[in-house]
Structure 1
Amino acid sequence: MKRFTPYEQWHSASLESGAFNHLNTLFAVSNLPDWPQCTWFTSFLDAKNANQQAITFVDDACFSEEERYYEQIIFDTGQVPTRQQNWHDLFGGLIWCLFPKTKSLINQRHIEEITQHGTKQRTKHRNALTLFDECGVVLAVSDDSWPKLLKNHQWTTAFFERRELWGKTIFPYIFGHANYEMLTKPYIGLTGKALFVKVPADIFCKDLAQQYQFIDQMLYEMISVDNCLRDNSLLSPLPLLGVPGWYDNNNSEFYSNTDYFRPKRRTRI
């Protein structure tokens, strides 16, 4: 089996699809000539964690003898262990840049759970935090009809018949860095977890960076005050390749694949 060089790995993936528009607008990732170093993130992030430690990104190799859990390192030191030439950690760093308040809060919540239950026992809260951290997609909506449509798996209506409203009354923001990693080589079946956030209609008219600042604050409040990630009950499946503009999906036949765009299961009485 051929082993690809880091350069070949970097250029083997397409970062130009619609799913990466935000990263290209804010970070110009598709224009990077090669894998960025840890210090590259510094110019995009000036934030502290909940323990008032400045967030920095450090080569994961520096923590080879570290006995602390990943989340404990971040909370204690502010240093985010980051594997070099690694898609997962590259996108993880970018999510820190986009959602610093929410990422810091999630880190804090992990530490609180670990302090109470230890590292081996995974509570419903920690499972939900991890699921959202890896696979979450924020669906900001100004029209209350969207959550019902998507939660009821009315995929063709939501994705195709109403596609002209995407960007106007509904706007997707990827939070889970694993989503971005998988979207570098998309496949039918790729599914994220949607969390709906009600927003005023004028938010979509703002600068993209301002939109992320607003959503970051909204998420922070929803998690810290409303405890929306106490479990995963508010997370809804979202077929990522169905999102308008994220894939070659500009035809109704694409949404007829019920193995991917699955109908809602009927609840037995």
Structure 2
Amino acid sequence: MKRFTPPEQWQISSLETGAFAHLRELFKVNELTDWPSPQWFSPFLTAINENNIPITFEDDAKVDFGERYYEQVIFETGVVPTRSENWHDLFGGFIWCLFPKTKALINHRHVQDIAEHGLQQRTKHRNALTLFDECGVVLAISESKWQQWLCDHQWKTAFVEHKHEWGKTIKPFMFGHANYEMLTKPYIGLTGKALFVCVPNEIFCKDLVTQYQYLDQALYEMISTDNCLADNKKLSPLPLLGVPGWHDENKDDSFYNNTDYFRAKRRMRT
């Protein structure tokens, strides 16, 4: 996965595109003048891990890992080790605030998988958990056509011909904090993994906080009950720069003519 070295100084201009609109509305990131400390997240945190310990953020350098893996530290102590002045961990903090139940469940699933299979063996389940945690995009949809179009790579149908329906019958919510990190320096080829969540139409009329709460509960049930992340089969490629409103260049419909980025679906031979 492509990673970026964070800048020495806080650069708010990196967060001015449409992809970061939710963070601006809910956390006022556009009003920050410097990197927030790990403790900055405290007023926004409601998460309690599946070991019944409240989630807190602490400076990574001050956390005693011992022989424990990152996910084990979170489960056993409630502490999320957080590197200072680091895009990746900053966005990870926002996701803990926005999807507290789902993040706690994913953490627990990692710990359970490690206990059963050890750290060295990466199971399909743990790979899917990681992929969604890093690169996931929740697509809330009230009509099944969206899943059909996007899974079938009908990009122009979904992104151009029906652009006016985004926000009305489909709405994207970032889950993968690595997506956010890479979108601070967007590049052609940047692709996330979509997970479709069916919602009632009236959800799109609710305020943003209520929408996140609804999706957090829905995701929790999909993972815990339906086992939707048993493997990565439910995750569909999503060109992030093609999402309407997320990238300035896609206002021009010709942007979608780049078939190296907006690739046709590979057909299986029979």
TM-score category, normalised to shorter length: over 0.9
Which residue of structure 1 aligns with residue 238 of structure 2? 238
Distance 1:12 1:164 in 2: 29
Q: Give the counterpart letter for 2:258 in structure 1.
A: N
Task: Please give the alpha-carbon distance, in whole angstroms, between the structure 2 residues aligned to 1:80 and 1:193.
Answer: 24
Q: Deviations over 1:180-205 (max 9, x none)?
A: 00011111110000000000000011
Query: 5, 8, 30: which is aligned to 1:6?
Result: 8
8 Å contact kept, 1:160–1:251: no
Could you tell me how far apart the structure 2 residues matched to 1:132 and 1:195 are?
8
Tell me the distance in 2 between the aligned counterparts of 1:128 and 1:4. Answer: 27
Residues 131-170 of structure 1 aligned to structure 2 (within 5 Å): 131-170=131-170
Which structure 2 residues correspond to residues 41-60 of structure 1 after superposition, within 5 A?
41-60=41-60
The CA RMSD measured in Å over matched residues stands at 1.3
**Does the residue aligned with 2:14 lie in a helix, a strand or coil?**
coil
TM-aligned CA distance change 1:4 to 1:119, over 3 Å: closer
Distance (whole Å) between structure 2 residues aligned to residue 151 and residue 125 of structure 1: 21
**SS at 2:61 equivalent:** helix
Tell whether the 8 Å contact from 2:12 to 2:30 is kept in structure 1 after alignment: no
**Residues 266, 66 of structure 1: CA spacing in aligned structure 2 closer, same or farther, 3 A cutoff?**
same
Structure 1 residues 193 and 65: alpha-carbon distance in aligned structure 2, compared to 1, 3 A threshold = closer
The match for 1:256 is 257
Q: Distance in 1 between matches of 2:251 and 2:162?
A: 12
Q: Counterpart in 2 of 1:198?
A: 198
Quick check: 1:109 aligned with 2:126?
no
Measured against aligned partners, the alpha-carbon deviations of 1:96-121 in whole angstroms (never above 9, x if no partner) come to 00000000000000011011001111
Partner SS, residue 11 of structure 2? helix
Output the amino acid matched with 2:22.
H
Post-superposition shift, 1:251? 2.1
Q: Verify the 8 A CA contact 2:58 2:82 in the aligned structure 1.
A: yes
Amino acid of the structure 2 residue aligned with 1:260:
Y
User: What is aligned with 2:77?
Assistant: 77
> Which one-letter code corresponds to 2:264 in the other structure?
P
Q: For residue 180 of structure 1, what is the aligned residue in structure 2?
A: 180
Segments of 4+ in structure 1 off by > 4 A?
none
* Number of aligned residues: 265
Deviation at 1:11, TM superposition (A): 1.2
Spell out, residue by residue over 1:60-105, the C-alpha distance to the aligned partner (whole angstroms, 9 max, x if none).
Answer: 0013663210000000000000000000000000000000000000
Show CA shifts across 1:192-248 (max 9, x none).
000000000000111100100000000000000000000000000000000001112
Map of 1:208 onto structure 2: 208
Q: TM-score, normalised by structure 1?
A: 0.96
* Identical counterparts, % of pairs: 67
In structure 1, the residue matched to 2:92 is: 92
SS at structure 1 position matched to 2:245: coil
Q: Is the 8 A contact 2:154 2:264 kept in 1?
A: yes
Cα pair 1:128 1:231 within 8 Å, conserved: yes
Query: In structure 2, what residue type is equivalent to 1:179?
Result: N
Q: Which amino acid aligns with 1:17?
A: T
Q: In the alignment, what sits opposite 1:119?
A: 119
Gapped runs of 5+ residues in structure 1? none
